[in-house]
């Protein structure tokens, strides 16, 4: 995990009003604005007002607030543009294709047959490999470890932690 300078963070500047953006929505903890490099009409970014570089650095509360605003903005974009689809994109760190180091979620309204392409092709993984990966993650005992009594296997939601 790397840290990034916030002094010239463009999304902090948009949040503070010192840099112009076409703002669509704002609440106490998030902001939605048009991407100035929009790949389709209505391409929007949702960010937390409090600087956090990546999903690993943002608080759980701000992450939840961002997703709430993503949900609201998705409904708004559907009402305005009636797109055939919508693609969400969220990148972390350069290896994950992140370019601006303030957490953001892209909402890209889609039309059937538009010019965008999937970033990868999907091929089935051997079940034994998936089983090994599953065991590795479930046996982890760090701070974000899954609950030990099998709730991760049952599909029931894990207990909510209080901050
Ligand atoms: Zn920032």
Cα 135 to Cα 130: distance, rounded to the nearest angstrom: 9
Catalytic residues: 104
Residue 135 lies in a domain: no
- Determine the distance separating the centroid of ligand 1 and the alpha carbon of 79, expressed in angstroms: 29
> What tens digit of pLDDT does each residue of 96-144 get?
999 999 999 999 999 999 999 999 999 999 999 999 999 999 999 888 8
Q: Residues 114-148, buried b or exposed e (16+ Cβ, 10 A)?
A: eeeeeeeeeeeeeeeeeeeeeeeeeeeeeeeeeee
Residue 66 lies in a domain: yes
- Determine the distance separating the centroid of ligand 1 and the alpha carbon of 89, expressed in angstroms: 18
Residue 63 lies in a domain: yes
What is the pLDDT at residue 1? Answer: 38
Residue 34 lies in a domain: yes
Domain limits for position 37: 10-110
Number of structural domains (the chain) is 1
Residue 85 lies in a domain: yes
Residue 121 lies in a domain: no
Q: Provide the whole-model pTM.
A: 0.86
- Determine the distance separating the centroid of ligand 1 and the alpha carbon of 11, expressed in angstroms: 5
What is the pLDDT at residue 2? Answer: 40
- CATH number of the domain within which 71 lies: 3.30.428.10
Count Cβ atoms below 10 Å from residue 69 Cβ, excluding itself.
Answer: 24
Residue 132 lies in a domain: no
On the question of pLDDT at 158 being above 60, the answer is: no
Residue 40 lies in a domain: yes
């Amino acid at each position: 995990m790397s840290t990034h300078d916030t002094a010239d963070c463009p999304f902090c500047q948009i949040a503070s009003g010192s840099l112009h953006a076409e703002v669509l929505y704002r609440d106490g903890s998030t902001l939605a604005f048009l991407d100035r490099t929009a790949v389709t009409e209505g391409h929007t970014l949702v960010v937390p007002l409090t600087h956090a570089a990546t999903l690993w650095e943002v608080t759980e509360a701000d992450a939840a607030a961002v997703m709430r605003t993503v949900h609201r903005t998705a409904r708004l974009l559907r009402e305005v543009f009636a797109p055939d689809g919508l693609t969400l994109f969220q990148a972390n760190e350069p290896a994950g294709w992140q370019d601006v180091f303030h957490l953001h979620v892209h909402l890209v309204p889609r039309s059937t047959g538009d010019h965008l392409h999937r970033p990868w092709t999907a091929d089935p993984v051997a079940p034994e490999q998936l089983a090994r990966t599953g065991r590795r993650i479930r046996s982890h005992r760090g701070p974000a470890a899954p609950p030990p009594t099998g709730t991760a296997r049952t599909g029931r939601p894990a207990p909510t932690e209080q901050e």
